[in-house]
Amino acid sequence: MHNKTLAQLSHALHAKEISSVELTQHFLNRISRFDEQLNSFITVTPERALEQARAADQRLQSGTAGFLTGIPLAQKDIFCTLGVKTSCGSKMLDNFISPYNATTVEKLDAAGMVMLGKTNMDEFAMGSSNETSFYGAVKNPWDLKAVPGGSSGGSAAAVAARLAPVATGTDTGGSIRQPAALCGITGIKPTYGRVSRYGMIAFASSLDQGGPMTRNAEDAAYLLKEMAGFDLRDSTSVDSPVPDYVASLNDSLEGLRIGLPKEFFSKDLNSEMAQTLETAIKELEKLGAIVKEVSLPNSHLAIPVYYVVAPAECSSNLSRFDGVRFGYRCENPKDLSDLYKRSRGEGFGSEVKRRIMIGTYALSAGYYDAYYLKAQQIRRLISEDYKKAFEEVDIIAAPTSPTPAFNLGEKTDDPVTMYLSDIYTIAVNLAGIPALSMPAGFINQRPVGLQLMGNYFSEAKLLNVAHRFQKETDWHLQTPNGF
């Protein structure tokens, strides 16, 4: 059962070939058997899962079930979940039991899905390798010596190893797409505002966006259809009708214009990576797509802009974690100042502290105009580049990551090299456009992802292109040895 797609599982449940309780227990058994070596879950919730599964079976029996009813999933541990620890991968929230549900959790619960547990992640979503988690690094199921990518590495590893059929993730600078690429699965970051951020613990509020992480584009379409939609509780949520992402999956690609940004396919791109992606793009050409070169002239500024904007927003968002109201509190503080300093000093990890300090500096008097304001101005230029490119093409294809998965510990002592892991994904978040990563091959037995970027609210087109590609290739069907 664990090798079936979401659509196949839904059919099996509705045909009474298997019950949700049996299916849920199957995945709980797999987590128990395999996750010790992967560390992809922070919290497993078997009692809650089986209770939800029993309720799903009643709906299936009574004929009131929806398409997703009874299907297990994993939630990234950044989504607040009523009565369940929501840690954000941090010591700071190790004791935090959420008193409410995030909108994403609420929507998927209402659809009848069954939560298996909460997946591991880089602390407060800050990282590209899932090595900054308070709960230890997640391992890549394709090679246990390799990272799974971050920050949604736990979700990516769990789906790749078939410990969950689908999972949720969040993407601030590539945190759905990069781990999806490194673990050989499909992940989509929707347009900013398409999925509610209510109850999603904030890292950088103008960049964060939730989305699905699945084995293929069809599964992503079904899950995104349920996750997307306007939410009054999120001031950045967009009040725009949600299309049926599944209905257009099989549309023809004849005449589709695909742009290849010359800045992304320069001589700096690893030759093996370039060749692998070139082969994947030729598959799209066989389906009728037309490929042409485009330019994103300001894309080289994405990394420095992001590492001013994101830390500045994280500095502001994380100021609420002070040891007073909730979360970690130091022992025996001498006074209020000592409480603040020690609680934050002991509760946050080194990467989070690094970004808070950078952000606080960028926002400080005398530097705001020089750094934060200037970064926002350049951000607008990056966004304009995409607008111009989409006047010439329908979608843009590019690498998701500059390399396949790197080894655990390889970049932990060099933050700048680690930051460059997101060189091809960050501009998308700065512009607020949707983007998807799908499996496109292997280099040295480690997966490679092809990234598709679209204009605002073009998720349906990205899923359509990925689905048609996956009907012609089998990269998304490959399973890591031993799982």
HSE-CB of 147 using CA atoms within 13 angstroms:
31
151 counts as catalytic = yes
Measured between alpha carbons, how far is 308 from 324 in angstroms, rounded to an integer?
Answer: 28
Measured between alpha carbons, how far is 300 from 431 in angstroms, rounded to an integer?
Answer: 14
| DSSP letters spanning 31-86 | HHHHHHHH--EEEE-HHHHHHHHHHHHHHHHHT---TTTT-EEEEETTB--TTSB-
Task: Say how many C-beta atoms besides its own lie within 10 A of residue 402's C-beta.
Answer: 17
Measured between alpha carbons, how far is 395 from 385 in angstroms, rounded to an integer?
Answer: 13
Task: Say how many C-beta atoms besides its own lie within 10 A of residue 251's C-beta.
Answer: 14
- Which residue among 90, 175, 237, 401 is the active-site one? 175
5, 11, 16, 17 alpha-carbon torsion, rounded to 10°: -50
Residue 277's nearest CA partner among 435, 452, 434, 157 is: 452
Task: Say how many C-beta atoms besides its own lie within 10 A of residue 131's C-beta.
Answer: 22
- Asked whether 362 and 371 are in contact (CB, 8 A), the reply is yes
- Which residue among 98, 133, 151, 401 is the active-site one? 151
What's the gap between Cα 324 and its chain centre? 31
Residues acting as catalytic residues:
76, 151, 175
